[in-house]
């Protein structure tokens, strides 16, 4: 691991700082597009911006670890953050990849309890950190934001339920197809290139890298996907959707 900036107590990375106004116009526009903040009136959003502290992280940096105090909400401005858990014997599972405009740490910052997973900079990235001591009173002062927070947590619960259903009920082709489709939904309409390695996707699907590679190559031969260095391009989303819905052995 290349670095460690775990957000414990009042400590934040050394380059964290209150966001200056010229900086806010270029960077906080990403935060403004988040469903939770997009409807805030300008004055309230400006107040939220004053709470945000900026940090630039190198790939591999640990941001928080499972069990750490849940004392901040974190927003990704550029790059990708990996949310994962690991076992004592070294196995790991990727729960989510958070890209620009996404947030994480909502559960822990809301109830003040420990972090439920590890967060690592999967690429070089920039983040904003909002301390719980400032964020919770801000939410209380903005009833509409509180409702957005509830909606976000409901969406996360539905998403988690879908993941559990895939693991329990779907075979490898169905699980892999569902994961690829879910990852493409995070891109703009028409965006089908997923910046992810086969090792990372194997940790998301819960199957070996060899099995993932075999399945992807079979789909590539059929023209459903294209494999690139560090990326997968979805070429035929409809066929993947049929596999995801059927959960059958077709596509082997």
CA separation, residue 96 to residues 30, 89, 141 (Å): 19, 21, 30
CATH topology of domain 3-162: Jelly Rolls (2.60.120)
DSSP 230: T
Residue 25's pLDDT is 59
* pLDDT tens, position by position, 44-59: 998 998 899 999 999 9
Calculate Rg over the CA atoms of the chain. Answer: 19
- The residue with greater pLDDT, 120 or 5, is 120
pLDDT band (50, 70, 90) for residue 8: very low
Cα–Cα distance measured from residue 94 to residue 199, given in angstroms and rounded to the nearest whole number: 10
Cβ atoms 209, 217 nearer than 8 A: no
What three-state secondary structure class fits 17? coil
- Domain chopping of the chain, boundaries: 3-162, 170-246
Residue 79's pLDDT is 92
Give mean pLDDT, residues 63-81. Answer: 94
Residue 5's pLDDT is 52
Give mean pLDDT, residues 113-121. Answer: 94
Cα–Cα distance measured from residue 31 to residue 49, given in angstroms and rounded to the nearest whole number: 9
170-246 belongs to which CATH class?
A: mainly alpha
Cβ atoms 64, 119 nearer than 8 A: yes
* pLDDT tens, position by position, 208-232: 999 999 999 999 999 999 999 889 9
Per the structure block, which two tokens stand in for 234? 């979805």
pLDDT band (50, 70, 90) for residue 14: very low
């Amino acid at each position: 691991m290349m670095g460690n900036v775990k957000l414990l107590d009042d400590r934040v990375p050394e380059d964290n700082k209150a966001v200056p106004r010229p900086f806010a116009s270029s960077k906080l526009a990403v935060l403004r597009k988040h469903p939770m903040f997009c409807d805030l009136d300008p004055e309230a959003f400006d107040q939220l911006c004053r709470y945000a502290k900026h940090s630039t992280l190198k790939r591999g940096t640990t941001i928080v670890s499972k069990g750490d105090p849940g004392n901040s909400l974190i927003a990704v401005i550029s790059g990708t953050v990996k949310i994962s858990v690991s076992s004592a014997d070294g196995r790991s599972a990727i729960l989510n990849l958070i890209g620009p405009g996404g947030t994480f740490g909502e559960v822990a910052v809301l109830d003040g309890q420990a972090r439920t997973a590890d967060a690592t900079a999967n690429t070089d990235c920039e983040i904003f950190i909002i301390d719980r001591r400032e964020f919770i009173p801000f939410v209380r002062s903005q009833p509409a934001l509180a409702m957005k927070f509830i909606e976000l947590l409901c969406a996360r619960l539905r998403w988690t339920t879908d993941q559990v259903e895939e693991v329990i009920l779907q075979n490898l082709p169905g699980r892999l197809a569902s994961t690829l489709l879910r990852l493409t939904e995070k891109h703009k309409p028409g965006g089908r290139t997923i910046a992810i390695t086969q090792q990372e996707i194997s940790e998301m699907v819960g199957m070996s890298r060899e099995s993932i590679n075999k399945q992807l190559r079979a789909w590539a031969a059929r023209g459903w996907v294209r494999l690139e260095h560090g990326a997968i391009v979805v070429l035929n989303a409809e066929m993947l959707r049929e596999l995801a819905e059927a959960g059958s052995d077709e596509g082997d």
